[in-house]
Amino acid sequence: MTSLPAEASAAPVPQAAARVLVAGVGNIFLHDDGFGPEVAQRLASEPRLLTSDVRVVDYGIRGMHLAYDLLDDVDVLVLVDAVPAEPAPPGEGGEQAGSGAGSIRVMRIRPEDLDGRAALDPHGMNPAAVLGRLRTLGGELPTTYVVGCVPEDVSEGIGLSDLVSEAVPEAVSAVVSLLARHTPANPSLTA
């Protein structure tokens, strides 16, 4: 996984349309694990932010559904999910800046980041297993990003913690920034 620097969002917009899938994943019954579905619902409720080449889906914990949808000519995947805090550099104790609960992390995922041997659970969602098993299903990993939020509370219950809830607009902005890099110019994306 490669974290993206802020200046990466300034890349030029390609002229050809990309088929983009924004996938919100997570379990809404485990508080902050419901971050991905919340962001997907927020994006879907703002059609001015999306072009016809972008599909937003709340997958929840339906890993097989996501796997099969990725076999359908997806050029770019933006996975939105709860993610672990970024580890502190070796030899440093404590928490690294930007790794606390409610922090947003944007990462690029490459095939070498994945373990193709991970078991794919037809009744659960392990994004690394879903992406790692694409080749065995006859597909290839598209250009893939994760827009993640460090959770505060993943105990049983419904609703995001305050810190994670406050991070949802920042995550929406991060997704929109990625969309602007991979879809034809949409005046709404720059407004």
Q: Is residue 93 in a domain?
A: no
Q: Which of helix, strand or coil describes residue 163?
A: helix
Q: Is residue 7 in a domain?
A: no
Judged against a pLDDT cut of 90, whether residue 5 lies above it is answered with no
- Tell me if 150 sits within 8 A of 85, measured CB to CB: yes
- What are the pLDDT digits (tens) for 105-147? 999 988 888 766 666 666 567 788 788 888 888 888 999 999 9
Q: Is residue 186 in a domain?
A: no
Q: Is residue 6 in a domain?
A: no
> Residue 186: left if φ>0, alpha if ψ -120 to 50, beta else—which one?
beta
Strands 143-149 and 54-60: unpaired
- Tell me if 172 sits within 8 A of 134, measured CB to CB: no
Q: Which of helix, strand or coil describes residue 113?
A: helix
Q: Is residue 42 in a domain?
A: yes
Return the exposure string of 51-75: e unless at least 16 CB atoms fall within 10 Å of the residue's CB, then b. Answer: bebbebbbbbbbbbbbbebbeeebb
Q: Is residue 130 in a domain?
A: yes
Per-residue pLDDT, averaged over 80-107, amounts to 76
Distance between CA atoms of residues 92 and 107, nearest Å = 22
- CATH number, residue 118: 3.40.50.1450
Whole-model pTM: value is: 0.81
- What are the pLDDT digits (tens) for 178-191? 998 887 665 555 44
Residue 113, domain extent: 25-86+99-181
Q: Is residue 12 in a domain?
A: no
**Mean pLDDT of the residues in the chain:** 82
What domain count does the chain have?
1
Q: Is residue 158 in a domain?
A: yes
Judged against a pLDDT cut of 90, whether residue 40 lies above it is answered with yes
Token code pair at residue 151? 């959770």
